[in-house]
Amino acid sequence: MGKYDDIINLPHPEPKNHQRMSLENRAAQFSPFAALTGHNEAIKETERLTDQKIELEEDAITDINRTLMWIKDNIKSKPEVVVTYFVPDHKKSGGKYITATVNIVTVDGINNTLITLDGTKIAVHNILEIV
Task: Give domain limits for the chain.
Answer: 58-130
Give pLDDT tens digits along the chain (131 positions).
Answer: 688 888 888 888 888 888 888 888 888 777 766 667 788 888 888 888 899 999 999 999 999 999 999 999 999 999 999 999 999 999 889 999 999 999 999 999 999 999 999 999 999 999 999 99
Instruction: Find residue 129's DSSP bridge partners.
Output: 84
For residue 108, give the DSSP letter. Answer: E
Q: Give the integer Cα–Cα distance in Å for 48 and 92.
A: 10
CB 106 within 8 A of CB 75: yes
Collapse the DSSP code of 69 into the 3-class scheme (helix H, G, I; strand E, B; otherwise coil) and give the result: helix
Q: Give the integer Cα–Cα distance in Å for 92 and 27.
A: 41
Collapse the DSSP code of 100 into the 3-class scheme (helix H, G, I; strand E, B; otherwise coil) and give the result: strand
**8 φ, ψ to 5°?**
-65, -30
56 alpha-carbon distance from chain centroid: 26
For residue 51, give the DSSP letter. Answer: B
Is pTM beyond 0.75? Reply is no
pLDDT of res. 102: 97
